[in-house]
Structure 1
Amino acid sequence: MLAYNTESTAFSEYPIVCRVNAPLLHTLLRTGINMVFNTRMNSHEARKLIEASGGDIAFARLLGLDEKPGTRQRINNWKRRGIPASVVLEHLAAIDALRCAAESREAA
């Protein structure tokens, strides 16, 4: 949550405005920041990584998603739409290892 100095002159003159607007500003800033930084991995790279892991199910197992219903379709959609940034960040070590493996296969 964003912290506001309510003792400054601007905030002390209008305390109710600060209490009402602080959550609103926080929501707007959080949404804007997510829109800017929440970019997906491009579909070409996503397809390469998924295939390097051995396919949809193998990729799901690697990320620990194979227990969830609908995972196969979800992974298959990533081949066309790209892997969401949240998934990449959550499983960064595994995805980086796959990137290295895919690059070494292409170089050979």
Structure 2
Amino acid sequence: MTYEDYAKIAKALSDPKRVKILDMLSCGAMCACDILEHFDFTQPTLSHHIKALTQSGLVTVEKEGTWNHYSIDQDTASQFLQHTQHYLTHTEECVCKEPTEKQANGKQCRTCAG
């Protein structure tokens, strides 16, 4: 997962309504009409939120006739969680230990120096 992919998901999660939608989808696939019952906004607004979640790759859509069923993409969710843990936890695989132009000139970040 690239930094851009990660940021796209994080941006999609920046809205509490989208987080609630994900919480609902954690119980299983749902159609838009069932999701909409839990909110006080219109169907076009729901479509806007669903679009952000699907474009991030976190939610998938499966068409069944005229109905769309939404569910969490478990692979993407798992990758996002793994990357979150990696980014927020000090490890030996620190990005500043990867060879860069600065390091080629003998410079290293203060955290990893030593």
Which structure is higher in strand share?
2
Give the structure-1-normalised TM-score: 0.28
Which structure is higher in helix share?
1
- Which protein shows a greater Rg? 1
